[in-house]
Amino acid sequence: MEKRVAVLPGDGIGPEVMAEAVRVLEVVGRRFNHTFHTEYGLIGGAAIDEKNNPLPKETIELCESSDAILLGAVGGPKWDQNPSELRPEKGLLAIRKHFDLFANLRPVAAVPSLIHASPLKEEIVKEVDMLIVRELTGGLYFGKPSRHTDQSAVDTLVYTREEIERIVDKGFELARLRKGKVTSVDKANVLESSKLWRKIVEEKKVDYPDIEVEHQLVDSAAMKLITNPSVFDVIITENMFGDILSDEASVITGSLGLLPSASVRSDGLGLYEPVHGSAPDVAGQGVANPAAAILSVAMMLKYSFGLETEAAAVEKAVNTVFEEGHFTADLAGKDQRALSTKEWTDKIVDELDLQFVSN
Ligand code: NAD
Ligand code: IPM
Ligand code: MN
């Protein structure tokens, strides 16, 4: 197979974890006889610095001519005081909107060899296996008006029926491939957009009689995510609730540095990126955990290219390296030696080579 992959490293630890993710992609290509052409583009702060635009048109063109997009992370203190249109985060929102990537899939599963790293008790985390399906191109992030003065500020939370229907369908379809349960998370006791959301979930569930459906208010969902997370299978929720709940869910696994994501539409191009941000507090030290970026490559192989065996090989390598007790600083115990970003990926590469030799 021959594919073109647009690589957008971004800022902070983005370039550090992307370099390792691309290295793993290259090993997969070599081992399984595929050619992945990687081409690099600017996004976020890096693009502001060079092009005065967080999403330059060259980057859009590169992505348009690619089969999938891999993205690191954007943002950092350097640009925090910029006007809204010149913030790195705007580039990320714009690329999601431009390509209509309305469904953001964020899997969260306990890794047996990492249970020690979670601040939660073993019996709470050990059975966790959920998928957060976050609406990504609507809601508060995109509603107009959106502005502030020193005296007042406004953000607008708007959802159309069509926007809700397509994400709800996506969630139901994904639940069919999993344990068959959907938890729709909203704030229907207060918000009008959530009332429409809940109504549409009720309408849609008739089309999916095989799926168990429950509604959960977002505040208590946040609580249940920590007290009893194994009850969740697929969570469907709007943009901002999904953003917050997915970072919260990362605590179950032990580190934000573990969670990958896929941003997709019904067909065509997909964008793959870690759930975490640019981590300015550890950027430049070579210590970031590249697992989320590497697992995002696995999601790309599976969802964009249909390469299930290759994706499984990457996931297996990640699990094996953890089982063998190799961790980056975010996961290492007090008396363990933490590996650098690159050293940890070396282990993944060795493991992929080993898998290949033994097959
Ligand atoms: P963050 O996700 O960057 O970091 C939160 C904490 O988790 C930090 O302590 C960080 O060191 C740690 N962390 C995150 N990823 C890690 C990894 N791979 N390995 C080890 N530790 C890791 O969130 P933040 O600090 O709130 O935001 C920093 C910047 O990132 C902001 O500018 C924000 O807008 C941006 N951001 C970007 C994205 C994205 O590009 N998708 C996502 C979230 C935040
Ligand atoms: C994420 C990030 C982004 C979001 C920011 C950086 C715009 O937090 O991908 O989770 O809120 O969607
Ligand atoms: Mn986030």
- pLDDT tens by residue, 290-335: 999 999 999 999 999 999 999 999 999 999 999 999 999 999 988 8
Question: Could you confirm whether 3 is annotated as catalytic?
Answer: no
User: Rounded to two decimals, what is the model's pTM?
Assistant: 0.98
Q: Do domains 1-99+269-359 and 102-258 have the same CATH topology?
A: yes
Question: Which residue CA neighbors atom 6 of ligand 1 most closely?
Answer: 279
Is any atom of ligand 1 closer than 6 Å to the C-beta of 54?
A: no
**Quick one: which ligand is closest to 12's CA?**
1
Residues 259, 274 contacting (CB under 8 angstroms): yes
Residue 103: what pLDDT? Answer: 98
The finding on whether 75 has its CB within 6 A of some atom of ligand 1 is yes
73 CA closest ligand 2 atom index? 6
CA of 1 to the centre of ligand 3 (A): 33
What sign has the CA pseudo-torsion 47, 48, 51, 53? positive
Beta carbons within 8 Å of 291's beta carbon, 6+ residues apart: 257, 258, 318, 328, 344
If residue 10 lies in a helix (H) or strand (E), which one and from where to where?
strand 2-10
Rounded Cα–Cα distance for residues 160 and 155 (Å): 16
Which one of 100, 155, 247, 353 is the catalytic residue?
247
> ω into residue 145 within 30 of 0, thus cis?
yes
Residue ranges for the chain with pLDDT beneath 70: none
Distance CA 157, CA 239 (A): 10
Spans of all domains in the chain = 1-99+269-359, 102-258
**Which atom from ligand 2 is nearest to the alpha carbon of 88?**
6
pLDDT tens column, 31-67: 999 999 999 999 999 999 999 999 999 999 999 999 9
Ligand nearest to the CA of 283: 1
Q: What is the number of the ligand 2 atom nearest to the C-alpha of 136?
A: 12
Ligand at minimal distance from the CA of 11 is: 1
> What pLDDT score was predicted for residue 358?
77
Q: Which fold would CATH assign to domain 1-99+269-359?
A: Isopropylmalate Dehydrogenase (3.40.718)
Q: Which of 96, 95, 46, 55 is nearest to 75 (CA)?
A: 46
Measuring CA to CA, how many Å separate 164 from each of 47, 159, 261?
32, 7, 20
Centre of ligand 3 to C-alpha 320, Å, is 28
Please state which architecture CATH assigns to domain 102-258.
Answer: 3-Layer(aba) Sandwich (3.40)
Give residue 48's identity as a one-letter amino acid code.
I
Q: Under DSSP, is residue 324 helix (H, G, I), strand (E, B) or coil?
A: coil
DSSP notation for 290-320: -HHHHHHHHHHHHHTT--HHHHHHHHHHHHH
